[in-house]
Amino acid sequence: MERFFSALQAILNGVLTGSLYALIGMGMALIFGVMRIVNFAHGAFMMVGMYVTYLLFQGAGLNPYFGFIGSAMFLFLLGYLFYRGLLKPIRGRSDFMQILLTLGFGLILTDGIQLLFGADYHQINLPLLGKNLRLGSQISLNAPWLISFGIALMLGALLYFFVMHTMLGRAARAIAQNRYAAPLMGINVDRVQALSFGIGVAAAGVAGGLLLPVFYLYPTVGDQFTLKAFVMVVLGGMGSIQGAAMAGLVLGVVENLTSLYWGNEWALAVDFVIFLSVLSLRPSGIFGSQRV
Amino acid sequence: MRRAQLLIAILFLILGLAAPLVVRSDYLFQVLFRVFLFAALGLAWNLVGGYAGQLSLGHAAYFGAGAYGLAVFSKAGIHPWLALLLGVLLAVLFAALIGGVSFRLRGPYFTLATIAFAEVLRVAAKNLAAVTGGDVGLQVPGLFVKSSGRSLYLAAVLLTAVALCITAWVSRSKFGYYLMAIREDEDTALSVGVNATRCKLRALLISAALTALGGGLYGSLFLFIVPDQVLSIDISSEMAIVAMLGGAGTFLGPLIGSVILESAAELLKNIFHEAHLLIYGLLIVLVVLFLPEGIAGTLAHRLRRKSAIAAPPFKAPGPVSS
């Protein structure tokens, strides 16, 4: 019984962690899955979101659960400008150029933040942090994680709605299907892509803001999330927003179970082993039906 | 043109061999060691990433295998040089495994798969403390007993020479042409009977062996290795950037790239201290935006245009990406 409850606890914690992963993954699904931009700066963007939320908290006393909105707006603008200024000029070139460009930009962001704020670890203190929701005698859920879970769920649904049911989202998917036919249908490719890139990055910014209360903050905090975001997109099936969200939840649960049975340090390796198996055995992803 | 390139390479190697006669400072030796080491590594990466067009960002796996092979096997009582050889074998084994899985993938999927493999190895090396020492690290024996820094430097020059010879062979052999055909259009290459999988795998095995030798030299210079250093994605991306900066798929490119990048990195570290990564990132962004073919590639382009000024150069239509 003891074992059952500890496993159940790990699974529930995994779902809570996974909801934030899902947000990061959905942003990447829009950028990499739909728009085919290999964005190696995704984690760095998320890290910037954490710092924005942190500054809003320290400077203006704004609670991170509202501060993430500021982070989203800032990141949207940053992503929009990044696409317009740097990505657009190399759009027709090979994927590897995008990889190098985004890697380089990620370095600029990470080292820039380190120059501005130092390499120290920061953490914020909310009275909420110690609160838990107890379910029965064995299971307890941490309050800040629950709140971010709720927010992530809502924003994830919003992002899904945006991609699947708005004009802009349709246009983004149309460009993904055929980059040459889309402009003939009256789609302003550059505008749509810049906006979608901004929105994808803003999703990472939101996740950063929501992670702030429960995570240490340091300049390279985002690095691990870049690769995880790619794992989620491939796991969920290229171009599938809901697939990436599901993959985020799965990743959260798998990581927590790995931590429980093998130790936290193996979690990342398990992520990548799953990733490699999916890539080689089922390249369309677990939840996806096809490659767009 | 070809002969000029070969001459430049030979001149470069002679200068490298003659440097110990002039250079006295240990610091300068370390910088020169890095220049030649990364020239060799860039050349190794170039075989797969440049000539075959398979853009790996997981070469740290082979680099780490070389360094850890040397350390682990010699700890078990094997002679360092034999241990280094076993490390190279280990890297080749990894390459066969990694290539077998990831060469079925194309474009960014291939790149992501190579990263994932290297990361799995890094995490494994961090956690298998009984073998690798984990995060604490592992001592590496010196490969040379006498004047180790100087000898290791000369070994790096030698490794660059070997890598240059292999590159020279690849760039004008049938095997090399197969690789380039695969790079330009894999499906067409397949349709005319090129065994793409075998060619790519063979290139990767050679590349991995060279990279592992480089990893062994690196470990032997610092005498101590940790997973986050020799197996990190930074090593992989530095190898790729050296080759891309100089010109991927060119004979001299990685050489030029390494001279510029490594000396620039060293200067930046001394001038800007903490900001050097920022400048480094800026450098990458600028190269991608303004020198997409690398320095050697752009130069070759210019020269070709000058010599064929009457006839406008035929530009093959690029592959249409969906």
Report the Cα A1 to chain-centroid distance in Å. 35
A274 vs B contacts (CB less than 8 Å)? none
Tell me, yes or no, if B107 comes closer than 8 A to chain A by beta carbon. Answer: yes
Rounded to a whole number of angstroms, the distance from the CA of B284 to the nearest CA of chain A is 5
Q: Which residue of A has its CA nearest to B281?
A: A104
> pLDDT band at residue B311, thresholds of 50, 70 and 90?
very low
Give the span between the Cα atoms of B55 and B60, in whole angstroms: 13
Give the span between the Cα atoms of A5 and A57, in whole angstroms: 36
A232 vs B contacts (CB less than 8 Å)? none
Residue A55 has pLDDT above 60, yes or no: yes
> Which of B31-40, B221-230, B269-278 is the least confident region?
B269-278
Report the Cα A114 to chain-centroid distance in Å. 21
Residue A70 has pLDDT above 60, yes or no: yes
Instruction: Delimit the domains of chain A by residue range.
Output: 17-121+131-222
Question: What is chain A's length?
Answer: 292
Give the span between the Cα atoms of B77 and B129, in whole angstroms: 18
Rounded to a whole number of angstroms, the distance from the CA of B294 to the nearest CA of chain A is 11
Instruction: Report the pLDDT value the prediction gives residue A31, as an integer from 0 to 100.
Output: 92
The CA distances from residue A102 to A44, A49, A217, A238, in Å, are: 10, 17, 22, 20
Q: Which residue of A has its CA nearest to B101?
A: A280
Interface of B with A in 270-309 (CB under 8 A): 274-275, 277-278, 280-285, 287-289, 292
> pLDDT band at residue B322, thresholds of 50, 70 and 90?
very low
Report the Cα A171 to chain-centroid distance in Å. 22
| CA B313-B314-B320 angle, 5° bins | 135
**A279 → closest Cβ in B57, B105, B284:** B105
**A104 → closest Cβ in B120, B126, B284:** B284
> pLDDT band at residue B48, thresholds of 50, 70 and 90?
very high
Which strand (E) or helix (H) includes residue A142?
A: strand A139-142
Q: Report the percent of chain A where pLDDT is more than 90.
A: 35
Residue located via tokens 């307890």 = A140
Instruction: Report the pLDDT value the prediction gives residue A195, as an integer from 0 to 100.
Output: 93
Residue B220 has pLDDT above 70, yes or no: yes
Binary contact (A276, B117; C-beta < 8 A): yes
Rounded to a whole number of angstroms, the distance from the CA of A90 to the nearest CA of chain B is 7
Binary contact (A104, B123; C-beta < 8 A): no
**A115 → closest Cβ in B127, B240, B275:** B275
Asked whether B47 and B170 are in contact (CB, 8 A), the reply is yes
Tell me, yes or no, if A133 comes closer than 8 A to chain B by beta carbon. Answer: no
Give the residue, A92 or A205, on which the prediction is more confident. A205
Instruction: Report the pLDDT value the prediction gives residue B314, as an integer from 0 to 100.
Output: 45
Binary contact (B124, A269; C-beta < 8 A): yes
Token reading at A208: 């950063």
pLDDT tens profile A180-220: 888 888 888 889 999 999 999 999 999 999 998 888 899 98
Name residue A122's beta-bridge partners.
Answer: A217
B101 vs A contacts (CB less than 8 Å)? 276, 279-280
Residue B193 has pLDDT above 70, yes or no: yes
Binary contact (B278, A115; C-beta < 8 A): yes
> pLDDT band at residue B23, thresholds of 50, 70 and 90?
confident
Tell me, yes or no, if A281 comes closer than 8 A to chain B by beta carbon. Answer: no
A110 vs B contacts (CB less than 8 Å)? 277
Asked whether A219 and A110 are in contact (CB, 8 A), the reply is yes
pLDDT tens profile A257-274: 988 888 777 888 888 888
B109, B135, B234: best to mutate for the A interface, most A CBs within 10 A = B109
pLDDT tens profile B101-139: 888 888 888 898 999 999 999 999 988 888 888 888 888
Give the span between the Cα atoms of B231 and B7, in whole angstroms: 35
B322 vs A contacts (CB less than 8 Å)? 178-179
Instruction: Report the pLDDT value the prediction gives residue A271, as an integer from 0 to 100.
Output: 84
Question: Can you list the pairs that B147-152 forms with residues at least 24 positions away whose Cβ atoms lie under 8 Å?
Answer: B148/B220, B148/B221, B149/B26, B149/B29, B149/B30, B149/B33, B149/B221, B150/B20, B150/B29, B152/B33, B152/B217, B152/B220, B152/B221
Instruction: Report the pLDDT value the prediction gives residue B313, as an integer from 0 to 100.
Output: 46
Asked whether B236 and B130 are in contact (CB, 8 A), the reply is no
DSSP state of A134: E
Tell me, yes or no, if A115 comes closer than 8 A to chain B by beta carbon. Answer: yes
> pLDDT band at residue B306, thresholds of 50, 70 and 90?
low
Nearest of B182, B243, B178 to residue B207 by alpha carbon: B243
Instruction: Report the pLDDT value the prediction gives residue B315, as an integer from 0 to 100.
Output: 46
Q: Which residue of B has its CA nearest to A181?
A: B322
Nearest of B60, B40, B50 to residue B255 by alpha carbon: B40
Residue A56 has pLDDT above 80, yes or no: yes
Rounded to a whole number of angstroms, the distance from the CA of A128 to the nearest CA of chain B is 34
Tell me, yes or no, if A51 comes closer than 8 A to chain B by beta carbon. Answer: no
Tell me, yes or no, if B127 comes closer than 8 A to chain A by beta carbon. Answer: yes
Give the span between the Cα atoms of B286 and B291, in whole angstroms: 7
Residue B17 has pLDDT above 70, yes or no: yes
Instruction: Report the pLDDT value the prediction gives residue B321, as an integer from 0 to 100.
Output: 42
Asked whether B214 and B66 are in contact (CB, 8 A), the reply is yes
Nearest of B143, B166, B164 to residue B218 by alpha carbon: B143
Mean pLDDT score, B275-295: 83
> Which of A127-136, B3-12, B200-209 is the least confident region?
A127-136
> pLDDT band at residue B71, thresholds of 50, 70 and 90?
very high
Binary contact (A95, B55; C-beta < 8 A): yes
Q: Report the percent of chain B where pLDDT is more than 70.
A: 94
> pLDDT band at residue B97, thresholds of 50, 70 and 90?
very high
DSSP state of B84: H
Average pLDDT over chain B, rounded to whole? 87
Query: Is the alpha carbon torsion for B95, B100, B103, B109 positive or negative?
Result: negative
> pLDDT band at residue A289, thresholds of 50, 70 and 90?
low
Which one of A19-28, A57-66, B24-33, B271-280 scores highest in mean pLDDT? A19-28
Tell me, yes or no, if A34 comes closer than 8 A to chain B by beta carbon. Answer: no
Q: Which residues contact B259 (CB under 8 A, 6 or more apart)?
A: B35, B39
Binary contact (A101, B111; C-beta < 8 A): no
> pLDDT band at residue B155, thresholds of 50, 70 and 90?
very high
Mean pLDDT score, B62-70: 95
Side-chain-side CA neighbours of residue B112 (13 Å): 31
A100, A114, A281: best to mutate for the B interface, most B CBs within 10 A = A100
Q: Dihedral through CA B278, CA B280, CA B284, CA B289, nearest 10?
A: 60
> pLDDT band at residue B307, thresholds of 50, 70 and 90?
low
User: What is this model's ipTM?
Assistant: 0.85
Name residue A140's beta-bridge partners.
Answer: A134
Residue A45 has pLDDT above 90, yes or no: yes
Binary contact (B109, A273; C-beta < 8 A): no
Residue A177 has pLDDT above 90, yes or no: no
Instruction: Report the pLDDT value the prediction gives residue A278, as an integer from 0 to 100.
Output: 84
Interface of B with A in 227-266 (CB under 8 A): 237, 240-241, 244
Residue B225 backbone dihedrals phi, psi, to 5 degrees:
-135, 145
> pLDDT band at residue A282, thresholds of 50, 70 and 90?
confident
Asked whether B52 and B183 are in contact (CB, 8 A), the reply is yes
Nearest of A24, A73, A40 to residue A215 by alpha carbon: A24
Token reading at A164: 């699947």
Tell me, yes or no, if B38 comes closer than 8 A to chain A by beta carbon. Answer: no
> pLDDT band at residue A34, thresholds of 50, 70 and 90?
confident
Give the span between the Cα atoms of A256 and A262, in whole angstroms: 10
Tell me, yes or no, if B101 comes closer than 8 A to chain A by beta carbon. Answer: yes
Instruction: Report the pLDDT value the prediction gives residue A143, as an integer from 0 to 100.
Output: 83
Mean pLDDT score, A161-170: 89
B239 vs A contacts (CB less than 8 Å)? none
A107 vs B contacts (CB less than 8 Å)? 277-278, 280-281, 284
Mean pLDDT score, A21-44: 91
> Which of A67-76, B97-106, B288-297, B303-312 is the least confident region?
B303-312
> pLDDT band at residue A292, thresholds of 50, 70 and 90?
very low
**B237 → closest Cβ in A101, A103, A230:** A103
Tell me, yes or no, if A275 comes closer than 8 A to chain B by beta carbon. Answer: yes
Instruction: Delimit the domains of chain B by residue range.
Output: 26-232
